[in-house]
Structure 1
Amino acid sequence: MNGPTPRYERAARRAQAAGRIPALSVALHRADREPWVFTVGGSGNPAHPLGPDSRFRIGSVTKTFTAVLVMQARDDGLLDLDQPVSAHLDVPAHGDATIRRLLSHTAGFQREPYGDVWDTLITPDAGRLIAELARAERVLPNARRFHYSNLGLAVLGHLVARVRGGTWAEVLTERILTPLGLTRTTVETPPEAVVGYLVDAYSDAVRPEPPVDLAGVGPAAQLWSTAADMARWAAFLAAPESIDPDGRVLAAATVDEMRWPLTTTDEALWAAGFGLGLILVPEGKRVVHVGHDGAMPGFLAGVYGRRGGDGNPGALGCAVLGSSGTAGETNELVHELLRLTVDLDPAEITPWRPAPPAPAAYRSILGRWWSEGTEFVFAWHDGRLQARVAEAPAGRPPAVFEPQDDPDVLRTVSGREAGELLRLTRDDDGTVSRMHWATYRFTRMQEAFDGGRASDGPV
């Protein structure tokens, strides 16, 4: 066995043994290698021994699918994220909660539907779930802070079903699972289902957990899947331009919008954030893992893709699925494997090659400029005008500009001052002599706000 595979397997075996996980299935997806899948343990299903096709409950990873369905509907003009849910659902209460707030768990909805669903294991159907919103609490004021809510995401699943004219399961299959080829991801319990267990804390005994059909809560946590399917899904969340280059499921810019952090999950630690339906785990050095964890009786799941960093091969996703509902090692292993991948098997370094020069209209921009006493460097790379603070760390992405109808007006499309305009002022010979970016003046020499230079001494 060559390469990093033994290290991956050892990490998985160590997690399975330390966590006492009856069945563990892990997968890595990356743009430049064949998928890697590994299983250890036993399925508890005599008809289907543990293997790459074994299915696990993925719990709240389901929420990422519902979130993508919401964003599809937004992009198709069927809804607006800042609309209240009452614009699309006839709800008896809490209709003022906006779609955006529900996606980011900042609407203040109580965690679960009305009633003790995890005591009775009886969950309401879609109609009852909506009707009983009148009995559910807003446990926090709208936008006060992060508060995780299965109820909130379930409501969004039924909202999407309503605007699409089908059930949540039908819309999910038609609009995500089939286009992405996630053929082993299902709403219903498949024959290849692994048994989920409670592992005794004080012995090596295990007890099968009862099966639970979430019914109306399904859009929050119902799905079954394989590690390979979920690693591909994680890669989509990290790099949709690679997994879905035609944007059949969702435009890359929309997934980027989903990944923008809207809240932290802990006001003191800032160790994780939430975007639009996605958990964001910072890894340092401008690296973030994006995805979701999942839990159901007898199951835990971790599904994350890696964004940024040296050695990242692109479309890098990992899934760890386990058949114990208490083994935190399941959720830790997914991040360990993503780190090991770039440490042990980094992407090949792409050689630099010459490219055409900048268009003549923008060549006089290139080089060093000053604004607010700070030095900036404007350059032309990858067919676009870019800018960065001269002393910025090399790994910090530059601001990137796109010309508008007037070639002397450019829009910042990413990086610093995203969305703002860059306006060019030219001399009589066409040379750019001054610029205004987000209204701040840029000049070739360092100037005070009154146009004077410190080098000339006091006035």
Structure 2
Amino acid sequence: MEPLTNARQRLERAVRRVQADARVPALSVALHRADRELWTCTVGSSGNPEHPLGPGSRFRVGSVTKTFTAVLVLQARDDGLLDLDDPVSAHLDVPAHGGATLRALLSHTAGYQREPHGDVWDVLAAPDDRRLLDDLARAERVLPAHRRYHYSNLGVAVLGQLVARLRGGTWAEVLQERILDPLGLAATTVEPTAGAAVGYLVDAYSDAARPEPQLDMGGVAPAAQLWSTATDMARWAAFLATPEIIDPGALVLSRDTLDEMRWPRTTTDETLWTGGFGLGLILIPQGGRVLHVGHDGAMPGFLAGVYGRRGGEGNPGALGAAVLASSGTATEINELVHELLTIAVDADPAEIRPWSPGPPAPPQYRDILGPWWSEGFPHTFSWHDGTLQARAADAPADRPPSVFRPIPDRPDTLRTVSGRETGELLRLTRNDTGAVVRMHWATYRFTRHQETFDGIAVSEG
């Protein structure tokens, strides 16, 4: 059986199994990858007789909306409109809790209570933009800032209002102009369309299913309002994982800024380090230096899982999956999205690119190549892909090397741009003939032979 056919069969079987076992009225799935055509699968019925279930059916994606709001915040930071360590009060006139920093709100460590003031989910009425901010005076700071992770729809809603104020429009307008249009996410909307699937509560003890009411989130929209298709959401997941492929011109956000958003800021459980939060993004480590990054979503009658895959053998890049369900209780879909990403690389890995010779290292760096010693341990410096690199001799094979770039006009001083000691300097010391005889990396001395800290060769008597 051809690998591609086998992979698609495994993907479809996983989707159909979850739809049946979790009793999901409608399940829509898409898988995006850089080296294959988009794969989609739908199972069930939309509940909308005039618009049968298909890849274009729209579902509510709930808190996946937060990832869009987080990107808007980082865009504003990159444009110089804010600093992530600014307090809310630096940009919004709020009656309380204005000392919370934007960074803490993005990582859910600001201590804001979970929901806006009032029983939103009981009365099914959300505050408008102004009321949301005014009611901060009646909302609690349930934990001290930075104490621990505490998920907050209120916190992300405040961030959405803040970005809208800075950009001079509504959150929906800013979202459309700065993310949806540049990335071509035409099926992602703030309001449901005629082709929207019906969201259900499925009876736990029978096969009955009742439609759930749909709440307009008003001022809380930046946390949970969006509707979309699995196709759009898979592309969004791929962007979160590999922006340089989906958005090569960095029209939405730079690769470096997405790297910053993906860096763990907190774990969601102090005893089970199986998931964490970056800046607005959920991080799910998979082992073997593989990370799934994205968000889950839940609204009455709907669940969603939208994740991209970073790292790992067989990853083609721009690998993202979206699982959208018209059931508010089918939590099995939360694992399905991760299963689909794993099947994609296990059953149909990316082709292995052949190695081919490249140019040698520049003359000024050639005598660096090879073994060096520091703190009694060996390291290897090499030149690959046009960069100077270093690895500890005992480093695991899957650990990325440190990569260096020369500082302009200072060729003997290089900056570590990735890997161990990122940000630190590597300084070269040359003798009278111009040969490098010593190096300092993050101030630690590197020599060609094993030496004590006071510079005596260990082999001397």
User: TM-score range, shorter-chain basis?
Assistant: over 0.9
Residue 425 in 1 paired to residue 425 in 2?
no
Aligned equivalents of 2:278 and 2:5: distance in 1? Answer: 39
Deviations 1:118-166 (A, max 9, x none): 1111100010000000000000000000000000000000000000000
**For structure 1, which runs of at least 5 residues remain unmatched after alignment?**
none
Residue 453 in 1 paired to residue 457 in 2?
yes
What residue number does 2:40 align with?
A: 37
Aligned counterparts, 1:90-105, within 5 A: 90-105=93-108
- Tell me the SS of whatever aligns to 2:34: coil
Residue 394 in 1 paired to residue 387 in 2?
no
- Tell me the SS of whatever aligns to 1:361: helix
Give the aligned residue type for 2:301. G
Deviations 1:263-291 (A, max 9, x none): 00000000001000000000001000000
Residue 239 in 1 paired to residue 242 in 2?
yes
Aligned equivalents of 2:93 and 2:27: distance in 1? Answer: 42
- Tell me the SS of whatever aligns to 2:410: coil
Aligned counterparts, 1:127-276, within 5 A: 127-276=130-279
Percentage of pairs with the same residue: 75
Aligned equivalents of 1:16 and 1:332: distance in 2? Answer: 13
- Tell me the SS of whatever aligns to 1:26: strand
Offset of residue 189 of structure 1: 1.1
Offset of residue 305 of structure 1: 0.3
Aligned counterparts, 1:344-423, within 5 A: 344-404=347-407, 405-423=409-427
Aligned counterparts, 1:290-329, within 5 A: 290-329=293-332
> TM-score, normalising length from structure 1?
0.99
**For structure 2, which runs of at least 5 residues remain unmatched after alignment?**
none
Aligned length: 457
Aligned equivalents of 2:416 and 2:403: distance in 1? Answer: 6
Aligned equivalents of 1:239 and 1:282: distance in 2? Answer: 16
Offset of residue 455 of structure 1: 2.6
What residue number does 1:279 align with?
A: 282
Pairing partner for 1:435 from 420, 435, 439: 439
Give the aligned residue type for 2:328. G
Deviations 1:63-107 (A, max 9, x none): 000000000000000000000011110000000000000000000
Offset of residue 2 of structure 1: 2.6
Aligned equivalents of 2:431 and 2:206: distance in 1? Answer: 82
What residue number does 1:122 align with?
A: 125
Aligned equivalents of 2:458 and 2:405: distance in 1? Answer: 34
Aligned counterparts, 1:80-95, within 5 A: 80-95=83-98
What residue number does 2:56 align with?
A: 53
Deviations 1:412-436 (A, max 9, x none): 1111000000000011111111000
Give the aligned residue type for 1:59. G
Aligned equivalents of 1:2 and 1:269: distance in 2? Answer: 37
- Tell me the SS of whatever aligns to 1:407: strand
Q: Superposition RMSD on alpha carbons, in Å? A: 0.8
